[in-house]
Chain A
Amino acid sequence: MRPFVYIEPKNPQEALAASVANSAAKYLGGGTNLIDLMKEDVERPAELIEVADLNFKEIKATGKGGFLLGAMCNNAETANHPEIRKSYPLLSMAMLSAATAQIRNMATNGGNLLQRTRCPYFYEVSMPCNKRAPGTGCGAIKGMNAQHALFGWSEQCVAVNPSDMCVALAALGAVVHVQQADSGMRTIDFADFHRLPGSQPEKDNTLQPNDLITAIELPAPVFSDHYYYLKIRERSSYAFALVSVAAGLQIRDGAIAQVGLAMGGVAHKPWKLTAAESFLKGKKPSAQNFEAAADLAMREARPLSDNGFKVEMGKKAIVRALSQAYERTA
């Protein structure tokens, strides 16, 4: 690793001030991604500001029927929290499919939102990568891109977001709470939190410099009965998704009253299947409707040279996730 300064601020204000004082500083949560990237020489922060011990560790009900997940709760305790398991089982299922037990014990909720792509061109510092080194080009678009994006990619970047948790959060319609450099608070809708690469793939999300994530807010639960997180991967654990689908259904009088549907492994951000959601709303939960929704969802796919298989895999995954969600307690 390269030399760096490590500090432990006592409160968010100190953390924010330290960040403002050093533009080459980074916040350190569980470190399960950042420290790895420092060892790989991809991330080179001059200073690490420890935020894992800050007071953002509560999981509590909001006044609006929803829940607030502290940014510094680890993934394991969040996924296994009795209230989360009961009211947001889709989130638990997605989170427990991620990484390994050891990593989930360390990784924080805030950090999960900020984990970086697993694109191999991003990881190997001698190769071109616009995300790691803007202006050097995209190695993947003309190279190996079986793991890469179907939707929303640009000539500058075809990388995908690797998170499982975020796919569920997109399906659930979460909101991210942020403390700003001036200590003021604001919220960001989850759909707006991650961004598409466009001409600035180095930016994964819409956070401003120094912003500190304090919590993730979940709306009142509607998918606690019918839910499924399907993750297709190359081994049963400790592998990133080739394609994943988070599906939540609310069934009223035999019809779909509400639906939350998002995909992972297919875009620079968790990919919310808005058109498929609109299509399904009010319809019967039938195989035919699930298949039509899947076709609709994949219509905009723009496969790269190596990842055409993800279109068919994606359709099958959407249909299966919806069927499993529907059949779960039906």
Chain B
Amino acid sequence: METATSSGIGNAIDRVEGRLKVTGMAKYASEFFVENLAYAQAINSTVAKGKIVSIDTSEAEKQKGVILVLTHLNAEKLKAYDEERPVLSVSSIQPVLQSPEIHYYGEYVGLVVADTFEQAQYAARLVKIEYEKDAPTINFEEARGEAYKPNEQSDHLRGDIDAGMAEAEVKLEATYNTPIEHQHPMELHAIIATWDNGKVKAYASQQMIDNAAITIAETFQIPKRDVRVIAPYVGGGFGSKLHAKQHVILAVMAAKMTGRPVQLTVTRQQMFTNTNLRQHNEQKISIGATRDGKLTALAHDTLSHTSTYEEYQEPCGSVSKMLYNVPNNRVTHRLIPMNIQTPFAMRAPGEATGSFALESAMDELAWKLKMDPIAFRILNDTQTDLSNDKAFSSRLLKECLRIGADKFGWNQRKMTPGTNRQGNWLIGYGVSAASRAAPYQKTSSKVLLELKNKTLYATVQMDATDIGTGSYTIIAQTASEYLGIPVERITVEIGDSLFPVTPGSGGSWGAASYANGARMACLNAIDGLKRKLNSHDKAGSIEALMIDNQVTRYEAEGTAEPSEAFKKHSVYSFGANFSEVWVDKDTGMYRIKRMVNVGACGKILNPKTAFGQIIGGLTMGAGMVIAEQSRVEPNYGNFITRSFADYHVPVNLDMANIEVVFLPEEDKIANEMGVKGIGELGITSVAASITNAIFNATGKRMRDLPVTPEKLLTAAVEEIS
């Protein structure tokens, strides 16, 4: 029944919601019109550890327009954690304002609700809070001894690492550091909450509708069916909106207590302290190979921090478990509880940071072996995931490396650092391999068919979100493909918990899940119409089927979920990054001139939105190298990076000319449509390709991100023989 149309899958059509966005008609969480809306401003602690001893709200309460000043003294009682430092998940409860204890600088300690935003903001500054200060744990170095093993899954061991290292003829031990980073989507976290007769309605900027509803329901201990979450448009998330954070609970609580709808927007400064972060990771790699380049051992030990009240562990060693053919392997993760808010997933958690360490170490070892780093990787390729002995559903890593080398002009690379010069510039080429799991989850969808003047129109519904990735467009294209009508006649309705449940946008599973869910609903609709006619072999169009059935409207639901074959395989996207970097010989400045990215990531639903995903990932990966870092003040524990003026993400001028190539790939094990995620592949290992290029240019190994002019200027040139 598949009908080729110019807007079906694989076509580079424009975003179906593009016009709404550029004309300002797409509504984001804080933009909905709600009658009688009140505005809230949250108040943050100014100590990193301690206890509130007094709060004076009298001045704030006197101000014009102030409706409520909320503190731990008058807050609603919420469900409390039932264990010490529970694991933070995408649907965890979020108790807030439940005690006078302070766990980190910037923790929410109050909320002012007023008739206007300005009144709330002003009154919030008049709340006087006194603290009893305690010495916070904010120094990673000093707290090293407090590291603990989170759980059994934190470690992976196979073979004998010591024997493998002993067997190695060439080896490397090196430590790589990545700093605290913040997700910082453009759209601030925001919510408009209403509480009406025990029923919650929340316009909230969230990546996962269903999980947000669970968090709200469980925190307030109300039935989930009484919570409706709406997020038709989300201005980026990068992981920070996977989970409904404390501000969501604060707004719902304020709505309940005031009886008015309440809008709460988290400020950019609060996004440093209250909407999670990527923690600092110290990654130690021990790696060894035989003289001819066969890996014998790889150990990847990560030390990170979590908060004192919740646990999150970024799986930095995930790539080291599965990327190469290495018989002896150890991956460990340890956490230090610190007085910094709980870290949580940031784009490619595990891969973005872990592949920086692994792919830097691979480059270092290749150099020691005097091998070409591409040949070295290809020599150690594997078609089996040795961490679980499952075959990869598809794996075109070697092809990515070879084709990328060709596109990039890798054969022009000079192997010895510092030998490619032009004026004051030292020029270097770098490469890295990338892998990112391509998960896929149970997804339901509903399709409503309608005949108007014998012309078929369709509406597809699911509680998916579009976080800027192109969900609307690829869902429309999928429906176009299977219903055989152009996207102009398809309406996509997403971002509402009234619609069928999806896993939401995150973990690179959005595209595969949404597309397969939409496909099943479409196929079920067609099948249903045929059954209705009691004949399965009715040929002809859906219009004809509906006319035969004498219906003008028809609806069907469908659910897609991972197959047995999926579960029996390791399902990943693969890629290769190439960077050309020009380093100023004197000043510590450098420029990324060119990047080539090759990806093997299943069926590309829309080359245009896919390209956008990859260049976004490459830019964010380059940002890890160029400047991105959140600095914690060592005496007070606050973030001294407070805005985009000092939290440096790349600007256009920083970015290279980028070439993106997608290798054609058929992978029906991944899912029926052969779609794999690419939202996170793009950022994976980019950083290493750049720092490897810096080494090739200068002979300096940059193992601590970001590579600031200060670090590059003061780094020593490694012995080059």
Interface string of A115-127 (1 = CB under 8 A from B): 0001011011011
B100 contacts partner chain A, Cβ-Cβ < 8 Å: no
Contacts of A192 in B (CB 8 A): none
Quick one: which of A123, A146, A317 contacts B642, CB cutoff 8 A?
A123
B121 contacts partner chain A, Cβ-Cβ < 8 Å: yes
Contacts of A139 in B (CB 8 A): 633, 635-636
Given A235-B626, A313-B587, A124-B642 contact (CB < 8 Å):
yes
Residues of B contacting A: mostly: loop
Contacts of A64 in B (CB 8 A): none
Binding site for A on B (CB under 8 A): 46, 118, 121-122, 125, 424, 586-589, 591, 626-627, 631, 633-636, 638, 640-642, 644-646, 648, 650-654, 706, 708-710, 713-714
Give the distance to chain B from A261, nearest Cβ to Cβ, in Å.
Answer: 17
Whether the pair B122, A3 counts as a contact (CB closer than 8 A) is yes
Determine the distance from Cα of A127 to Cα of B639 in the docked complex, in whole angstroms. 11
A238 contacts partner chain B, Cβ-Cβ < 8 Å: yes
A2 contacts partner chain B, Cβ-Cβ < 8 Å: yes
Contacts of B591 in A (CB 8 A): 236
Q: Which residues 134-148 of A have a CB within 8 angstroms of B?
A: 139, 142-144, 146
Contacts of B652 in A (CB 8 A): 237
Whether the pair A239, B122 counts as a contact (CB closer than 8 A) is no
Give the distance to chain B from A26, nearest Cβ to Cβ, in Å.
Answer: 18
Contacts of A144 in B (CB 8 A): 631, 633-634, 640
Determine the distance from Cα of A239 to Cα of B635 in the docked complex, in whole angstroms. 25
27 contacts between A and B (CB under 8 A): A1-B118, A1-B121, A120-B633, A120-B641, A124-B638, A124-B642, A126-B638, A127-B633, A142-B635, A144-B633, A146-B710, A232-B587, A232-B709, A234-B626, A234-B627, A234-B708, A235-B626, A235-B650, A235-B654, A236-B653, A237-B652, A237-B653, A242-B709, A242-B710, A309-B714, A312-B714, A316-B587
Contacts of A1 in B (CB 8 A): 118, 121-122
Contacts of A233 in B (CB 8 A): 709
A320 contacts partner chain B, Cβ-Cβ < 8 Å: yes
Given A41-B125, A123-B642, A144-B631, A236-B654 contact (CB < 8 Å):
yes
Determine the distance from Cα of A118 to Cα of B647 in the docked complex, in whole angstroms. 13
Contacts of B641 in A (CB 8 A): 120
Whether the pair B645, A238 counts as a contact (CB closer than 8 A) is yes
Determine the distance from Cα of A124 to Cα of B650 in the docked complex, in whole angstroms. 25
Give the distance to chain A from B424, nearest Cβ to Cβ, in Å.
Answer: 8
Whether the pair B713, A320 counts as a contact (CB closer than 8 A) is no
Contacts of A118 in B (CB 8 A): 645-646
Determine the distance from Cα of A119 to Cα of B236 in the docked complex, in whole angstroms. 30
Give the distance to chain B from A25, nearest Cβ to Cβ, in Å.
Answer: 19
- A126 nearest CB neighbor, chain B only: B46
Given A313-B713, A316-B587, A120-B650 contact (CB < 8 Å):
no
Determine the distance from Cα of A220 to Cα of B627 in the docked complex, in whole angstroms. 40
Residues of A contacting B: mostly: loop
Contacts of B587 in A (CB 8 A): 230, 232, 313, 316-317, 320
Give the distance to chain A from B626, nearest Cβ to Cβ, in Å.
Answer: 6
Contacts of A238 in B (CB 8 A): 644-645, 651
Whether the pair B646, A309 counts as a contact (CB closer than 8 A) is no
Whether the pair A232, B646 counts as a contact (CB closer than 8 A) is no
Contacts of A320 in B (CB 8 A): 424, 586-587
Contacts of A40 in B (CB 8 A): 642
Given A232-B588, A234-B626, A313-B710, A143-B634 contact (CB < 8 Å):
yes
Given A2-B125, A139-B635, A235-B651 contact (CB < 8 Å):
yes
Given A2-B122, A317-B587, A320-B586, A120-B646 contact (CB < 8 Å):
yes
Contacts of B635 in A (CB 8 A): 139, 142-143
Determine the distance from Cα of A40 to Cα of B708 in the docked complex, in whole angstroms. 27
Contacts of A123 in B (CB 8 A): 642
- B708 nearest CB neighbor, chain A only: A234
Determine the distance from Cα of A193 to Cα of B271 in the docked complex, in whole angstroms. 38
Give the distance to chain B from A311, nearest Cβ to Cβ, in Å.
Answer: 11
Contacts of B121 in A (CB 8 A): 1
Determine the distance from Cα of A118 to Cα of B121 in the docked complex, in whole angstroms. 23
Determine the distance from Cα of A127 to Cα of B48 in the docked complex, in whole angstroms. 12
- B650 nearest CB neighbor, chain A only: A235
Whether the pair B627, A120 counts as a contact (CB closer than 8 A) is no
Whether the pair B710, A120 counts as a contact (CB closer than 8 A) is no
Contacts of A235 in B (CB 8 A): 626-627, 648, 650-651, 653-654
Given A120-B646, A313-B587, A234-B709 contact (CB < 8 Å):
yes
Give the distance to chain A from B594, nearest Cβ to Cβ, in Å.
Answer: 15
Please provide the 8 A-B residue pairs with the shortest distance between their CB atoms, ordered closest to farther: A120-B640, A126-B46, A236-B653, A234-B627, A316-B586, A237-B651, A309-B710, A236-B654
Whether the pair B636, A127 counts as a contact (CB closer than 8 A) is yes
Q: Which residues 193-243 of A have a CB within 8 angstroms of B?
A: 230, 232-240, 242
Determine the distance from Cα of A242 to Cα of B589 in the docked complex, in whole angstroms. 11
Q: Which residues 112-170 of A have a CB within 8 angstroms of B?
A: 118, 120-121, 123-124, 126-127, 139, 142-144, 146
Give the distance to chain A from B183, nearest Cβ to Cβ, in Å.
Answer: 18
Determine the distance from Cα of A123 to Cα of B642 in the docked complex, in whole angstroms. 9
Determine the distance from Cα of A41 to Cα of B635 in the docked complex, in whole angstroms. 22
Contacts of A242 in B (CB 8 A): 709-710
Contacts of A3 in B (CB 8 A): 122
Contacts of B118 in A (CB 8 A): 1
Q: Which residues 273-330 of A have a CB within 8 angstroms of B?
A: 309, 312-313, 316-317, 319-320
- B635 nearest CB neighbor, chain A only: A143
Determine the distance from Cα of A304 to Cα of B365 in the docked complex, in whole angstroms. 38
Contacts of B706 in A (CB 8 A): 234
Quick one: which of A41, A146, A236, A313 contacts B651, CB cutoff 8 A?
A236
Give the distance to chain A from B493, nearest Cβ to Cβ, in Å.
Answer: 36
Determine the distance from Cα of A232 to Cα of B642 in the docked complex, in whole angstroms. 21
Contacts of B645 in A (CB 8 A): 118, 238, 240
- B589 nearest CB neighbor, chain A only: A232
Determine the distance from Cα of A190 to Cα of B587 in the docked complex, in whole angstroms. 28
Determine the distance from Cα of A75 to Cα of B635 in the docked complex, in whole angstroms. 38
Give the distance to chain B from A162, nearest Cβ to Cβ, in Å.
Answer: 10
Whether the pair B710, A124 counts as a contact (CB closer than 8 A) is no
Give the distance to chain B from A8, nearest Cβ to Cβ, in Å.
Answer: 21
- B105 nearest CB neighbor, chain A only: A126
Given A126-B638, A232-B589, A235-B626, A143-B633 contact (CB < 8 Å):
yes
Contacts of B626 in A (CB 8 A): 234-235
Determine the distance from Cα of A319 to Cα of B584 in the docked complex, in whole angstroms. 13
A sample of 10 more A-B contacts (CB under 8 A), given A120-B641, A313-B713, is A124-B640, A139-B633, A142-B635, A143-B636, A232-B587, A234-B648, A235-B653, A237-B654, A238-B651, A316-B587
Whether the pair A313, B709 counts as a contact (CB closer than 8 A) is yes
Which of B586, B631, B640, B642 has the most CB atoms of chain A within a 10 A radius of its CB?
B640
Contacts of B714 in A (CB 8 A): 309, 312
Contacts of A237 in B (CB 8 A): 651-654
